[in-house]
Every structure is written in C-alpha cells, then in structure tokens.
Amino acid sequence: MKNPNLSIVIPAYNEENCIDECIKSLKKQTYKNFEIIIVDDGSKDKTKEIVKSFKEIKLISGQHNGPGASRNLGAKQAKGKILVFVDADMTFDKDYLKYLIKPLSKGEVIGVENEIQISSNFESNIWSRCWGKLFFNGKNKDRKIFRAIKKSEFFRMNGFDSRYGYGDDQTFFIKYGVKPDIAKGAICYHKAPENFKEVYKQSKWIASSNQNGIFDMPIIKYIVPLLFLIASPILWFAYSFYKLYKNKDAKILLWIFIFSFTRIYGIAAGLFKKVYWMQNVR
C-alpha cells in the first residue's frame, strides 16, 4: 500500500503463540487503509518466521531493548499520518480501527485509547480468571496509554521513552501530563498471562518499571524492596482476599492464593531488579 492513512506498529518478543491471531484479526478489519509494521525485539523463537508467512507486512529486526524502542523504530518507517500501537497478544473487534481513529480523523484530538479492553482468555484459563476479565472499560477516566496518535504529535514529543519499560506507552503523560481521549466503540481483547512463569515475569516487569518518585530518593529507594519483601506475607493474604472479592467465585479460592503469591513475589523481584540492577526490560 503506497499511501496508507494508518501505520499499525507491533513490537514482538517471543510471540510465536499469538502473533498470527493478532495479524489475522487486523486483516479482518472493516477499515482497510492501513499498513502493518512488526518490529521483532530480538525474539529467540519462531516469531519472525510466522510473520514472514503473511503478505504485505513490513518486518523490522531490532535488538532486545524493550517495546518502547521497538515502537519508535517502527514509527520511523511508518508511512501513515496516524500511528496505531498494539501488542502482539491482542485481537480486535472488526470495527476496532474504524472507531479508534474516528476522533483523530475529525481533528478533534491528538491521540486516543480504546474504550474497552477485555481478557481474551478469561474463560479458558484459570490464571487469566484470577487476573480478571476487564483490563478497563469506558468508565475508566484516568487513561494514560496512547493506542493511536497523530504521527506529527508523536515525533513532536520525541516518541516513547524506553527507560519506562512496561509503562513506555505512558511516556506522554509522565513527561508532559498529556492524556489520550477515549475512542467510543473501539473494543479490543488482550491475552492475560496463562501460567506461573508468565504471571511471575509480567509482575516482575511491571514492578521493575515503576515510576514512583520514591525511587529517585537516595538511600530510601534501597529500603523499599526490603520493606516490601518483609511485608509480603501480609500483602499476599490481603491481595488474595481482594482478588477473591473482585472475582466473586469461591471455587477458585486455591488458585487465587497461588496466583496472588506469584504476583506478590514477582513484584518483589521486580523492585529488587529496578533498585539494585537498574533494569526494566522483560
């Protein structure tokens, strides 16, 4: 496509189990004027081979520097006037793109976030059930993630800052206090972690990307991980009962406790990684 209106940029790191569903879902969109750019973030599995099996997709090979760096790399080669950033483990309602870019096409806003994001594997996986069904819905007003943005605005704000790790797509809020508008009717589905290893790694990555100002304070920041680890048994039980209340399903009580244990100690590991190793890449 010579002159696409949209450029969909997808960072991918070891996504062989879901990248094909993401691509197929995009190809079924009612809105057609877009290009797909997939930036491989140093995958060690068959991600690149799967992407190459699809026609008319631009594949860029990068180093393992995290999704923020990959998104920036893809944006530099984008032809569209609007950049759309999605993850490789996402799928979409057939009218997703049409509704996502509607406010942007009208010139009303500089960037948007989808209205509703649902767990795609909530019913099929017990770990995902513990995580929760709704990532967020239209009632959430405190949005910080830019799912789509005018390319001119993206580069005016110097793109995503990969130092923020898991939160790199919140760069414009963190740096400039800029928030996206909600694109009404834009519905997508996001795959939640499906096993012990995935829940632990996701929790560790989120914690290691924490931008709380306390981590800028000398000496005190070194105490935080230790305090969290000491308090972890109490936090484990408290979080377990919170998740049980949110799920309202006593049948998964045991799984809730296992899930909560994994999350709490994943967070502890992430805090140690942030403070003592200064890393936040998955």
pLDDT value, residue 182: 92
pTM of the model: 0.93
Domain ranges within the chain, ordered by starting residue: 6-190, 196-277
Burial of 142 (0-12, 13-18, 19+ CB in 10 A): exposed
| One pLDDT digit (tens) per residue for the chain, 282 residues | 668 999 999 999 999 999 999 999 999 999 999 999 999 999 999 999 999 999 999 999 988 999 999 999 999 999 999 999 999 999 999 999 999 999 998 887 999 999 999 999 999 999 999 998 877 676 666 788 999 999 999 999 999 999 899 999 999 999 999 999 999 999 999 999 999 999 999 999 999 999 888 988 999 999 999 999 999 999 999 999 999 888 888 788 999 999 999 999 999 999 999 999 887 777
Element (H, E) at 181: strand 181-190
For 89-116, the DSSP string reads TEEE-TTHHHHHSHHHHTTS-SEEEEEE
pLDDT of residue 9: 98
Both ends of the chain: CA-CA distance in Å?
Answer: 33
What CATH class has 6-190? Answer: alpha beta
> How confident is the model at residue 278, as a pLDDT?
85
- Residue 248, judged by CB atoms within 10 A of its CB (0-12, 13-18, 19+), counts as exposed
- In Å, how far are 26, 54, 77, 81, 276 from 47, measured between CA atoms? 17, 12, 20, 27, 32
What is the pLDDT at residue 146? 94
- Bridge partners (DSSP) of residue 183 are 114
Nearest to 276 by CA among 230, 226, 232: 226
pLDDT score, position 11: 97
Phi, psi for 220 (deg, rounded to 5): -60, -40
Q: Given this model, what pLDDT does residue 140 score?
A: 65
